Amino acid sequence: MIVTVTANPSLDRTIELDAALDRGEVQRSLSSSEQPGGKGVNVSRALIASGLDTIAILPGEASDPMLVALRAEHTPTAGLPISGRVRSNVTITEPDGTTTKINEPGPQLTAADDAALIDLVVSHARRAEWVVLAGSLPPGLSADFYVRVINAIRHAADGTPPRVAVDSSGAPMQALIESGVGVDLIKPNAEELAELTGLPDTFEEDTDAAAAAALTLVNRGCRTVLATLGSRGALLVTADETWRATMPPVVAKSTVGAGDASLAGYLLGDQRGAAPERRLAQAVAHGTAAASLPGSTMPTPELTHPDSAEVHLLSRPDNH
């Protein structure tokens, strides 16, 4: 069982243009679609598409359009009733794959919501192999929310607690790194890797620098760093070794959710008992497949081609 936690989910409306976005002008869309989204939600959607057991935990009444949409997709959920409505986000995609997102802040959560959401996570984490904490935090939750969730999960565990993966940015990730609680996996993109390490964002062009930056996060308590670098593939960095994987180029329809699909691909490989380099191959294959699909559509395994990934060992301790 893989539990995902999305504290600030969204109902994502994607508008596809047949020409470049022309600011200030009137344009007609080629198509539009609406799908449930948010990082953890997308991970669960991708895991369901791959036949894995998962549940998506999120705030929202059973009647909220977000929860209704997830039920329609047959994604198992545990919703926390709140007074507000799950936010709506708008994504605009252009023919060359350029993606523009406009994200709402999300509903205001109370201190009671905060405590209840943590209790809900803990209750499901007891039977989980992984807990994925993903995305931004809505108004009302403090930046240390993920730290408090992890501590609560570990305190309540009977025996070995589930492994924890975190995919977030900004203050919540900074609070996590600075807390020293340690997690099993983080999944930054190039921009987030630069933000976490305070280094210039040149990582999509300079993968050696990205690998070195990721290793500093390993040294600060993140057991594994899965760094997604857009068209330059991804890195898998641990204290023991660093791998890089790339995929043949595809025509991108939408990059929304591609990083979430990459994380799901890694977890799929892990659950299948794959070696680290094959988990990375599945991660880039999932991410590439997601980018070739419209909106935030998550790929099935048949649409991914991990055997097409070029995977290279960059370093081991004896040649760091």
What integer is the mean pLDDT of 79-103? 90
Catalytic residue among 64, 167, 260, 270: 260
Identify the structural domains of the chain with CATH numbers, from first to last. Answer: 2-319 (3.40.1190.20)
Residue 153 host element (H or E): helix 145-156
To the nearest whole number, what is the mean pLDDT of the chain? Answer: 94
Over residues 114-130, mean pLDDT: 97
Please report the pLDDT score of residue 63 as a whole number: 94
Distance CA 130, CA 212 (A): 26
- pLDDT of 99 reads 85
Q: Are 182 and 222 in contact (CB under 8 A)?
A: yes
Q: How sure is the predictor about 319, in pLDDT bands with cuts at 50, 70 and 90?
A: very low
Least reliable range by pLDDT among 37-46, 202-211, 236-245: 202-211
Q: Considering only CA atoms, which of 121, 125, 116 is closest in space to residue 158?
A: 125
Contacts of 112 (CB under 8 A, 6+ apart): none
Would the pLDDT of 171 be above 50? yes
Q: What is the three-class DSSP state of 149?
A: helix
Is 206 part of the annotated catalytic residue set? no
Model pLDDT, residue 317: 60
When mean pLDDT is compared over 84-88, 103-107, 130-134, the highest value belongs to 130-134
**pTM of the predicted model as reported, rounded to 2 decimal places:** 0.91
Rounded CA separation 204/275 (Å): 25
- Judged against a pLDDT cut of 80, whether residue 320 lies above it is answered with no
CB 246 within 8 A of CB 268: no
> In the chain, pLDDT over 90 holds for what percent of residues?
82
| Averaged pLDDT for residues 126-153 | 97
Residue-level pLDDT at 318:
55
Q: How many residues comprise the chain? A: 320
Q: d(Cα 191, Cα 200) in Å, to the nearest integer?
A: 9
Q: Does pLDDT of 316 surpass 90?
A: no
pLDDT above 90: residue 96: no
Q: For residues 234 and 37, which has the higher predicted lDDT (pLDDT)?
A: 234
Q: Which residue has the higher pLDDT, 76 or 256?
A: 76
Q: Which residues contact 308 (CB under 8 A, 6 or more apart)?
A: 247, 248, 285
Contacts of 246 (CB under 8 A, 6+ apart): 232, 233, 284, 309, 310
Q: pLDDT tens digit string along 51-66?
A: 999 999 999 999 999 9
Examine the pLDDT at 307 and tell me if it is beyond 70: yes
